[in-house]
Structure 1
Amino acid sequence: MATQALLLSIIASETSAAEVLSIINGCQATSISGTVNTKYRDYAGEDILLELNDVSDIPIKRAEHSYDDGASMITISMIVPESERSRMNDWIMNNHVDSESAGALQDYTWGVQVGDTVDVETTDGVLNIEFRGRVIGFKDMYAQVEDMEGDVFDVGLEDITVAK
C-alpha cells in the first residue's frame, strides 16, 4: 500500500475538535470544512471548526449553513501515509455508521494513491487541461502527477480520477 488521499464526512454532534485532531495525527490534513443545520439549531460543526481554527495551522473553511433535515457535518480531506493506513482503516471500521452501530463517521472515500495511473481534467475557467499520468506523490492539498513526457504537475484532488 502507498500514500493515499482520504475524505471523511463525520457527524459533528458525535465528535469533537480533540477527536478530529486525533484522527489526523500522523497524516497530512489538506482541508477541514463543515456544515451547520440551522433548521434544528445544530451548530456543533461550526463550534468544532472555530475551535480547530484556534488550535491548529490546518486550512479551515468556514461552515456552510443549510436549512434541511441533515445533521451538521465535519469534512476532512487528508493524505494518509502508508505507515498510518492500518490505523485509519481501524478507525473507519470502528466508527462508520451502519445498521449495527451509531458511529460518528457518515461516509468515507479513499482516493488516488501513489503509483495510480490517473486521468486529469481541470476546468477551472482559467486553465483547462486534460491528460493521463501517474501519481508520484502529494504536496499540500495536491497530487503530483507526472505526464507521459515526464513533466510533473500539482493537481487538485477533485480534478483526478483513476484511469480505467
Structure 2
Amino acid sequence: MSIYDYAAKTLTGQDVSLADYRGQVILIVNTASKCGFTPQFEGLEALYRAYKDKGLVILGFPCNQFGAQEPGDAEEIASFCSLTYDVTFPMLAKIEVNGPSAHPLYAFLKKQQKGVLGTEGIKWNFTKFLVDRDGAVVERFPPTTKPEDLKVAVESLL
C-alpha cells in the first residue's frame, strides 16, 4: 500500500483519490476551527500560496476528536476556512484520526511515521504529515510546529 491507494471525500461530498496528487509534495493536516492552533490556517495558507506552483499541495482534514473543537458540518467548516483565513488549499470531509473509526489514510500515515517515543496516535489538532513526490511519508510534525517552520523541509522535497 502507498498513500496513492487511499481516497477521501471533499467538503462537498465528492470522492477524491490521493493518486490525483501523484508527483506533488503533500502536507496532510488534521484541522479544527475552535482550537488554540487554529491560527495555523493562516501559516498553512501562506505556505501553500508560496509553494503551490512548485508542486506543494496541502490537504486539510477537519477532525472533532480533540476537545470537540470541530463541531461544525461541512458547510460551516468551508465557510469558516474561507471567510476567516481565506483558505484555498483543499479541505476534505471531517474524519476521525484515532480509534476504530479512524480514516484508513490516517491509519496508514500513523504507521509510516510514528510520533514521540514511537507512539502512533494523533495527540491533537494540527498534527502534520509530509509526503514526498513519490508518495513516501517522510516526516511527522507535532501541532506545536508552526507552518512557517516547515519551509526547509518542504523546499528540500520540491
Q: TM-score, normalised by structure 2?
A: 0.33
Judging by fraction of residues, say which structure has more strand. Answer: 1
Judging by fraction of residues, say which structure has more helix. Answer: 2
Instruction: Find the structure with the greater CA-based Rg.
Output: 1
Q: TM-score, normalised by structure 1?
A: 0.32
